[in-house]
Amino acid sequence: MSDKEIMLGNAAIARGAYEAGVKVSSAYPGTPSTEISENIVKYKEIYSEWAPNEAVALETAIGASISGVRALASMKHVGLNVASDPLYSISYIGVNGGLVIVVADDPGLYSSQNEQDTRMIARAANVPVVIPSDSQEAKDFIKLAYELSEEFDTPVIYRTTTRLAHSQTEVVLNDRVEVEDKEYTRNATKNVMMPGNAKARHLVVEQRNKDIAKFGSTSKLNKIEMGDTSIGFITQGIEYQYVKEVFPNASVLKLGLVNPLPKDLIKDFASKVDKLYIFEELEPVIEEQVRAMGIECIGKEIFTIQGEYSANLLRKAVKNELDVKDAAQVVGRPPILCPGCPHRSTFFVLNKLKKHATGDIGCYTLGAVAPLSVIDTTVCMGASLAMLHGMEKAKGKEFIKDWVAVIGDSTFLHTGINSLENMAYNGSTGTVIIMDNSTTGMTGHQDHAATGKTLMGEEVPAISIYKVVEAMNVKNIVEVNAFDIAELERVVKEETARDELSVIIAYAPCALLKGQTFPYRIEVKSDKCKKCGMCLKPGCPAITKNEDGTVKIDASMCNGCGLCSSVCKFDALERVEK
């Protein structure tokens, strides 16, 4: 009898990869996909790694696939943008061993800079898309995705969403299937995408789309559940759960293979229901194709094109079908940097000096909000450096004297290196601050090439960020403890005044990093407090005011970083050893 376990969607995907006989997994951490690799590493039969970025992760998986084994690449939706170059070409080439690319979309923007819909990219790249609706399917459909990949000689995008990735349902576990390696045979006509070869492969891809669409009409990835024929839904993924909750008796076509669409199956289902709704998060990918088939349906005219869907949203939209009950409203909580975060002290100094910053992707993006309010722009990973360079070329050296570019250590290794290379090569005089907290903080403390440890726990030589910068012939490189605000202030003033490119490496480990010890605590001397509020300016959540205007510190939150005591001019906050 098979074991059963309550599993997170991401953990179920990892289990599915294990059961499917995957041998190589490469990923870059990004919410909501991160836990896939953190669970895959538990299965020693799979080689798993953190790559420096998503393009490298996919290229690694492609290499493993072409050599003849089943391979996996995992990323969040904006990571697929980084990996789009290899994606479009491997679509033409196809696979040897099965190749699955897990892409986690983020409807509702819980931890992302946009709500892009991966199905749109997959359509452009001519890559089939498989979507599960719960943890059991998250596991089972991975195995089906590998079968699809190998049967039709194609990479497969396995699309999930935040709700599916981070919800838990019961999963039946099965044994691993040891898939025999495919023999590698040299085939330059298929695998080398020079123009002449690519033209021929494009014809193959178009025929493949037709074959997969026909396959989808009978595939167990797609399922019809006939019920009340007065109302029917075509839906997918986690949205299927909302349909079943609100309309348990409705007829439903649940699509697990959403690109290419099974036209015959859709037409057959539509002909059997009186009123047809298309219920899909984000873009009207299914709806527009259904309408193009000449089928009347209801979709985005009542369902929003933005944000995450829910059962309550469905209830309200289809208001003529049942009574509407408003959902309870959850009180919002603004995001804030953790107590003891080294980024807070860096932003405090920049705020004090009235500097603007081009920002990047990471915890430090919170430097854009009050009370720090330093970051003016955030676009994508690695953009902060190139944007500062662009500002200088547009407005001149004097314009950027009041600007810096900020970027984290993991993000610098992800795509910041190329941007710094561009600054060095093209004569930038800007100042870059690499905020090195010794981890990939925002996604949960994953290691990277500069931490000295791999995903599988192997100790390796750590790449020196200082030496990487030095190798680009940057003459002005300064390392400074992020909590030494006097020295940091001096360095920022000096480096931003230069007429040459400079890099400041502001280092201090993340306060939540495993193994961190905190030898200090802060004592409040209320009799010395002048109620000036200076210690409140950095915005540390551990410090609050008493009714009389003096301050108090929550000992359960404070880790004694000393930022507050260093800005107090009256010695009312004393940093002492525990």
Annotated binding site for [4Fe-4S] cluster: 529, 532, 535, 540, 558, 561, 564, 568
Query: What's at 186, amino acid-wise?
Result: R
- CA–CA gap between residue 235 and residue 220 (Å, rounded): 15
- Please name the residues in contact with 334: beta carbons below 8 A apart, sequence gap of 6 or more: 369
AA letter at 329: Q
Taken in order 238, 241, 246, 248, the sign of the CA dihedral is positive
Q: Which residue type sits at 164? A: L
| CA gap 85, 94 in Å, rounded | 15
The sign one gets for the Cα dihedral 136, 142, 143, 147 is: positive
Tokens representing 213?
Answer: 């669409």
Angstrom distances, CA of residue 310 to CA of 136, 163, 231: 20, 10, 19
Q: CB under 8 Å to 548, separation ≥6 — which residues? A: 531
Determine how β-strand 250-255 pairs with β-strand 223-225. Answer: antiparallel
N- to C-terminal Cα separation, the chain: 54
Tokens of 119: 């199905």
DSSP label of 459: B
CB of 321 closer than 8 Å to CB of 247: yes
- Beta-bridged to residue 217, according to DSSP, are none
- Token pair of 493, please? 């003033």
Alpha-carbon 27 to chain mean position: 11
426 backbone dihedrals φ, ψ, rounded to 5°: -105, 25
Closest to 347 measured CA to CA, from 375, 381, 387: 375
CB atoms within 10 A of CB 152: 16
CA distances from 35 to 71, 74, 99, 443 (A): 17, 10, 19, 9
| Interatomic CA distance for residues 122 and 259, integer angstroms | 8
Phi-psi region of 463 (alpha: psi -120 to 50; beta: other; left: phi over 0): beta
Please give the annotated binding residues, written as ranges: 529, 532, 535, 540, 558, 561, 564, 568
| Lookup result for tokens 């590493």 | 41
Report CA torsion sign: 441, 445, 446, 450. Answer: positive
Cα 145 from chain centroid (whole Å): 22
CA distance 90 to 219: 24
CA distances from 571 to 43, 519, 565 (A): 54, 20, 7
H/E stretch holding 169: strand 168-172
* Entry field: residues in the chain: 578
**Cβ distance 157 to 103 under 8 Å?**
yes
Distance of CA 307 to the CA centre of its chain: 16
